[in-house]
Chain A
Amino acid sequence: MPHGAVADPDEGQVDQLYAETRQLRLQGFLLFLVSDVVLFSSFIFAYLYLRNTLPAWPPPGINRLDVGFAAFNSVVLFGSGVTMHYALESWKHGKFARYANFLIATIVLGAAFLAGQGYEYTNLYMREHVSWSGSGAFGASFFTLTGMHGFHVFVGVCYLTVLLLQSCAGVYTKEKYFGLTAGTLYWHFVDVIWVVLFSIFYLI
């Protein structure tokens, strides 16, 4: 509740209040995700627009991106989406240990994805000499969009870690776990964005 915690009115009222504020926060959070989608869409539009102005893609002198490694890395990220789903389901069923294991798995997989992306960046920069500012529209759009996505994953990993600590400290209960819902939604959102980015950068 943005108004601060309610001290101790009778239980029924607190539950009522919780249900209603949860509704508000859920809607607000979904709208935040919508605006984030718009942010990504704008950069994706910029990428497709720039790509369309050039006669060939990738521009001469730059190799096609390596699909193999990125596909492996994508599987890692999608796997983390699955574990996140089971983490939330376990929480709803009151199985705390299962929940904690799945959440830790999600965090590890998310971090692994980031490491994979770091590896890919290094590879592109050292071997292929593709850089953010020195490779025309290719470098600009690829590193900006995947970097933005990577930043979202990084924020997600931090957020999930906070959620893990919070749930260990007893902030959430079996009935009241809006933070976990928000974390799950956010994590799936990051997954879906990656599906789009993977398709437009590696597949087409």
Chain B
Amino acid sequence: MAVQAAHAGGGIADHIHPEPQGFIRRYVFSIDHKIIGIQYMITGFVFFILSGLLAETIRVQLMNHAGGFVSNDTYNEVYTVHGSAMVWLVIIPIVTGGFGNFVMPLQIGARDVAFPWLNMLSFWMFPVAGLLLFSSFLVGAPVAGWTEYPPISLEGGVGTSMWCAAIFLIGVSSTLTGINFIVTIMQMRAPGMTFTRMPLFVWAQLATAPLSMVATTALAAALAALFIERQFGVPFYDPTKGGSPVLWQHMFWFYSHPAVYIMVLPVFGIVSEILPTFSRKPIFGYKMIAFSSMAIALVGFMVWAHHMFTSGLAPYLQLPFMILTYVVAVPTGVKIFSWLATLWGGKIHLTTAMLFALGFLALFTLGGITGIFLAAIPYDLHIHGTYFVVGHFHYVLVGGSLTGIFAGIYYWFPKMSGRMMNETLGKWNFALFFIGFNGTFLPMHWLGILGMPRWVPQYDPQFEFWNRFASVSSFVMTFGILLFFVNVIWSLRNGKKAGANPWGARTLEWQLPSPPHYYNFKHIPNVYGLPYDFSLPLPYKGLDEELTDSPAPVPAGSH
């Protein structure tokens, strides 16, 4: 019997390991990519709540131009940990480790990722890193902002070293996940799934994985050097001892600009799945969307110094970085127009997932456009270090990534849990989030142009009105996000049974029961075409038994 399973379909992807028994091996130290994906999401959302509270601390402090809610030192700690946690403990783990793990192997017709044990190891570094970062509050958290520029980051207590260790750890986890995903996508696709038949979410993960692998390793070097300098006094960044603070900026941004694409490329993938499904139309420009992800990933490595126009780079070095940054806008624009063309003339279903995806389109485009402003050297010199920058990257990371994360959860929640989420609550969630978000971050653009600096606990009284407006809006947004959590918890118990394919979607994961079995596929299917042609029959063969009671495949070696 063992042999039968292995002969049905595609070689390595068809090998199964026996399902583990017992709660610990099944749900805690699991090697199942679906469980690990959900673990990433739950852990990520726990850190999301914590760093969201830090964000609200910032907004409450800024209600009053004189501050007064927390001390100046605490304020520095709060925005530093808020930024670091949101980037490394919330968005990156959820979009790569979370969605990537749960969805990608199902979409390529595999039974798991290439290295399941490595996958488990990657996951468990993540909560440890998070605890390390948040526990730095007990000994004095880092205060130099999430970018931790020296020389400020060379001062202060052990908290900054803990920050280094935590980010290093999550970086190793990210690198290992990147390696794992590249090998999985390269080697374990179902028979017939050529590269140009892969779902766009898989393409997005394939573009992201090398970024996680290469860029994160460069960051690891920068962090190691900072740690060594802080702990052993070895001069890399301290100019008084022969180091250079600008060196850190180069190494940090060589990672952190690609990190923007690590955070947003997978979300492009999520949106590329949701839009055709709810427009009931093939995705427009499949190959252009796929290849533009790769182009973004490639060019994304060559633009880092646009964060450093005020750091004293020679002008002949600045110019190519400005131009290359404009170049990134081209593949991004290709995507935006392809998505709009997908919507054009489609039969649009405004489900909550679709609303969030459309919200993503609007907000991310705004964030992208202000990015073009910032890439222009003369303009950047004017607004560098102001709230304009804060507004810009929150449009990209909250309006882009986080909105996309919500879209993805509303879309795949039925597949993960077997139950539908509540659409009424979902629409309230979207409306409050969308209105609150714009109210919070739109005013930051003109506050910045008028000259309000970021990272300050007090500010000029003339900015007070718009700061209060932003703070009140942020409470609305927070309430909207609260509804999301209410919705998830309510739907887990009371949601309507989803069935296999509640959205009528065509990628492989929707052809399986919800939630899928441990082994994913009874037989590995054969793939004959793209998953987006809504007028054609499904391009898969060998899925007939998936929704029947036919026996599960027998793990190799268990007879």
Contacts and interface: CB of A to CB of B under 8 A. Distances in A.
A34 B182 CA distance: 13
A94 interface: no
Contact of B242 (A36, A45, A132, A137): A137
B250 to A, nearest CB: 7
B244 interface: yes
Contact of A9 (B180, B234, B557): B557
A28 interface: yes
Contact of A140 (B115, B188, B221, B235): B235
A31 B556 contact: no
A103 B465 CA distance: 74
Nearest to B243: A137
A42 interface: yes
A132 B232 contact: yes
A34 B214 CA distance: 8
Contact of A132 (B222, B234, B247, B251): B234
A9 B242 contact: no
A56 interface: no
Interface string B531-559: 00000000000000000000000001110
Contact of A31 (B3, B182, B250): B182
Given A7-B556, A9-B6, A46-B221, 15 more contacts: A2-B118, A9-B556, A13-B6, A20-B12, A23-B12, A24-B12, A28-B114, A32-B179, A36-B217, A38-B213, A42-B217, A46-B236, A46-B251, A53-B244, A140-B235
Per CB-CB distance, the 5 closest pairs between chain A and chain B, nearest first, are A136-B242, A7-B557, A42-B221, A20-B12, A3-B17
A64 B558 CA distance: 65
Interface in B124-168: none
A53 B312 CA distance: 13
Interface string B228-264: 1100111110000111100100110010000000000
A42 B15 contact: no
Contact of B241 (A3, A17, A136): A136
A144 B234 contact: yes
Interface string A1-36: 011111111100100110011011001100110111
A49 B243 CA distance: 10
Contacts of A23: 12, 187
Given A10-B3, A24-B187, A28-B115, A59 B228 contact: no
Nearest to B16: A3
A48 to B, nearest CB: 10
Nearest to B250: A49
B11 A16 contact: yes
Given A6-B556, A23-B187, A140 B234 contact: yes
27 contacts: A2-B117, A2-B118, A4-B17, A6-B15, A6-B556, A6-B557, A9-B556, A13-B3, A17-B6, A24-B115, A27-B182, A28-B179, A35-B214, A38-B217, A42-B220, A42-B221, A42-B254, A45-B250, A46-B225, A46-B247, A53-B244, A132-B234, A133-B235, A136-B241, A136-B242, A140-B229, A144-B225
A139 interface: yes
A31 B187 CA distance: 14
Interface in B26-59: none
B341 interface: no
Contacts of A132: 232, 234
A144 B236 CA distance: 10
B451 interface: no
Contact of A43 (B114, B225, B229, B250): B225
Given A49-B247, A140-B236, A54 B242 contact: yes
A17 B7 CA distance: 11
A31 B243 CA distance: 32
Nearest to B213: A35
Contacts of A32: 179
Interface string A40-65: 01110110011001100001000000
Contacts of B114: 2, 24, 28
Given A24-B114, A144-B225, A144-B228, A139 B234 contact: yes
Contacts of A39: 217-218, 220-221
B486 interface: no
B116 A27 contact: no
Contact of B180 (A17, A28, A35, A43): A28
B334 interface: no
B317 interface: no
Contacts of B182: 27, 31
Contacts of B17: 3-4
B187 A27 contact: yes
B151 to A, nearest CB: 15
Given A17-B15, A31-B213, A50-B247, A133 B118 contact: no
A43 B244 contact: no
A186 to B, nearest CB: 15
B221 A3 contact: no
Interface in A47-101: 49-50, 53-54, 59
Interface string B210-224: 000110011011100
Given A9-B557, A32-B179, A45-B251, A133 B234 contact: yes
Interface in B168-182: 175, 178-180, 182
A20 B11 contact: yes
B114 to A, nearest CB: 5
B2 interface: yes
Contacts of B186: 27
B172 to A, nearest CB: 10
B369 interface: no
A12 B86 CA distance: 50
Contacts of B558: 7
A5 B558 CA distance: 11
